[in-house]
Amino acid sequence: MKYLGVELQKPKVGVFDFTSCEGCQLQLANKEGSLVDFLSLIEIVNFREISSDKSDDYDVALIEGSISRADEVERLKKIRENAKILVALGSCACFGGVNSLKNRFPIEEVVTEVYGDMPKETEPVRRVSDVVKVDLCIPGCPVSKAEVERIVVNLVTGAEVKFPKYPVCVECKQHVNTCLFDLGQLCLGPITQAGCGAVCPNGKYPCLGCRGAFADPNYEAFKNIVAEKGFSMEYLKERLSFYNGFSGAYKDEM
């Protein structure tokens, strides 16, 4: 097959879920308008939400979810052995996501609180890259289908995969939105990696940083804005830690 006159190889793709809500997988199966074209570029060999076929013969593995059990570690390592390219898909896979909130508490307390007298085996949450080598991270909660499709086309054609080098705040201003700080909300758009099209601020909902920190955030300037608008640093830290997308960076800067 050809795409824009270029002869393409049709890679075999497997999509795998770990600890998550499976919302990122659902995103891949959505957007009917482009789904047929998207699927024409690849051969799906393992994707529980859209096919009953299962195979260990794949080139690209898309990993959704964080790692929170011993059996998940072993399954992930096996997938890594089989895949030429392993992609962490979504905030849970890239950062640990909302699931990482449980890491604030002793694991015994977490098990008791959730499962009561019917305890289950679980461990502190880890990112996919904490367990195996990750070739590419596509953040978001959920991921942007348009961004995933663009990146898959890049992978199929051998083109360089690029992400915006500016924050969500830029995309928000391109939509001529009223700044959410002026509407009395703490928004992480000025320091969060762009690529979602500012979908939350467009709906008058503040950015929660699900795509993590962009390449060169100005934390000092952002803290000044947060303070001027009357928000506490504790509230800011709470928001920064929600998806674990600022771990390391904000702890040194805040």
> Mean pLDDT of successive 10-residue segments in the chain (254 residues)?
65 94 90 76 88 90 96 97 96 96 93 92 95 97 91 84 94 97 97 96 97 91 96 94 81 56
Quote the pLDDT of residue 159. Answer: 87
Quote the pLDDT of residue 222. Answer: 96
Do 62 and 148 fall within a single domain?
Answer: yes
Tokens of 203: 């709906």
Do 198 and 113 fall within a single domain?
Answer: no
Do 100 and 179 fall within a single domain?
Answer: no
Quote the pLDDT of residue 30. Answer: 81
Quote the pLDDT of residue 215. Answer: 87
248 inside domain: no
Tally the domains of the chain: 2
Quote the pLDDT of residue 251. Answer: 57
249 inside domain: no
56 inside domain: yes
173 — phi, psi (to 5°)? -65, -30
User: In Å, what is the CA distance from 194 to each residue of 63, 154, 218?
Assistant: 21, 18, 15
- Beta strand extents in 85-134 (DSSP E only): 85-89
Do 29 and 147 fall within a single domain?
Answer: yes
Measured distance CA(171)–CA(141) in Å, rounded: 17
Do 120 and 176 fall within a single domain?
Answer: no
Do 86 and 210 fall within a single domain?
Answer: no
- Beta strand extents in 39-152 (DSSP E only): 43-47, 60-64, 85-89, 136-138
13 inside domain: yes
Do 111 and 177 fall within a single domain?
Answer: no
Tokens of 193: 């990696």
Do 122 and 196 fall within a single domain?
Answer: no
